[in-house]
Amino acid sequence: MIRAYLFALDPTAGQEQAFRSHCGAQRFTYNWALAQVKANWNQRTAEESYGIAEADRTPWISTSAYSLRKTWNQVKDVVAPWWAENSKESYASGCANLAAALGNRRDGRARMPRFKSKRSHRSCRFTTGAFGLGRDRRHVKLPRIGEVRTHESTRKLARKVEAGTARIVSATLSYQRGRWHVSFAVELPDADAGAVAASGGVPRVVGVDVGIAALATLSTGDTIANPRHLDKALRDLRRAQRVVARRQGPDRRSGQVPSNRWRKAQGRVSRLHTRVGNQRRDGLHQLTTRLVSEFDTIVIEDLPVAGMVRNRRLARRIADAGWGEFRRQLSYKADAAGVRLVVADRWFASSKTCSGCGAAKTKLALSERTYTCAVCGLVLDRDLNAALNLAALAGGDTGELLREQSAGTRVRPDVVSGCEIATGRPRCGQRHVCEGVTHGIDSHVS
């Protein structure tokens, strides 16, 4: 498997200038290659409009990374006479990024790439040359730049490299969250799914229901409180953003340059956002690591987070909880540890279904925090009931409703005289349980 190790850097002033130069070279090459591709396509469009035959038109330009890089090497002395100041990998990175962007457009996954401005994300990728860990566990090596001190220790990766169980494939230099980082793509051995031993021979299964009031509710009964880092920082953020609004900021239309006081105030806002993001990520890392280390099977929901944040009343709370980041971390950590991760169907009614008898409610308001079953009389916390239903999907003795849902059948409950009847199958011969007695549909008396 390929896994990334991200480290924050503490560069000197000269090294930081070299970082900007390499990232700028990557952006320059990207824009140059994109201009060549667009000029070729526009020329062919014009020739087609003039009625020129296909055989006589300008040949298609190859958009592969190899071809774009080969063309760049032929003209770089004329286009960029300063190219020797940076590593050749910075120019190769620009060609590779454009080739990937055009490939995504060709496959229908993205639109036509646009030119990058100086305000775009700064990054540069190295695949060849002298890069990797430095002389100790507080330095890394980058081509043409040399050794750069890291803000944190690299011992976790260094131990694997020294033991021969990891091989660094590439390094990506990037500026994010207000500081420079380097990310190493590391090749690791595949996880052994049988390496995880269950305690006492019984698989340890847990269902996880994420929420806003509580960040996560486990089927074991444990509840992880939602720290709400953004809410705690909103007061300072409002004050800092009011200061920014009173300063002279940039204006593209008039060409106004931001003042130094605006830059300092904007830096304060960026640091506050960075701190909130770091706190949120740290809490999610602790939670996901705990789940992977304590359980053999984890069951979660397939939540449409992108659609849920369209609710203007809940968008900020959902984004602050970090549900998408929670699933991302849990996915790759489960793969690395050999833990089974089960993702319930998006339409599975985990909150509306009774974890005791399997009956399902037609409606359940978001304000109802306690689940009360009208069939068996079960009274349970809403989130705990959903977590128990998720845990049942992992296998074992489950109700008929849960078995059908795990098999991919969407169940639509109907209410008939207080009985919950699953109508996902033909009504002929369907049976259900009412007050402890099994009835057929035709024999049921309202």
Specify whether the CB–CB gap between 210 and 383 falls below 8 A: no
Specify whether the CB–CB gap between 123 and 175 falls below 8 A: yes
Distance CA 256, CA 250 (A): 5
Distance CA 440, CA 97 (A): 62
* 383 included as an active-site residue: yes
Radius of gyration of the chain (CA): 28
* 414 included as an active-site residue: no
Distance CA 380, CA 399 (A): 18
CA angle at 319 for the pair 315 and 323, rounded to the nearest 5°: 120
Which of 89, 296, 320, 383 is flagged as catalytic? 383
Tokens 């939670």 belong to 287
Which of 89, 209, 320, 420 is flagged as catalytic? 209
Which of 89, 301, 320, 420 is flagged as catalytic? 301
Q: Which residue from 391, 406, 344 is spatially nearest to 222, judged by alpha carbons? A: 391
The contacts found for 175-178 with CB under 8 angstroms, 24 or more apart, are 175/19, 175/23, 175/121, 175/122, 175/123, 176/121, 177/270, 177/273, 177/274, 177/277, 177/278, 178/267, 178/270, 178/271, 178/274
Specify whether the CB–CB gap between 297 and 342 falls below 8 A: yes
Distance CA 100, CA 68 (A): 12
DSSP codes of every residue in 274-330: HHHHHHHHHHHHHHHHHHHHH-SEEEEE---HHHHTT-TTTHHHHHHHTHHHHHHHH
Distance CA 316, CA 282 (A): 19
DSSP secondary structure code for residue 353 in this structure: B
Q: Which residue from 330, 338, 339, 293 is spatially nearest to 210, judged by alpha carbons? A: 330
Specify whether the CB–CB gap between 369 and 381 falls below 8 A: yes
Burial of 82 (0-12, 13-18, 19+ CB in 10 A): exposed
Specify whether the CB–CB gap between 40 and 58 falls below 8 A: yes
Distance CA 217, CA 222 (A): 6
Q: Which residue from 443, 377, 445 is spatially nearest to 416, judged by alpha carbons? A: 445
Instruction: List the catalytic residues.
Output: 209, 301, 383
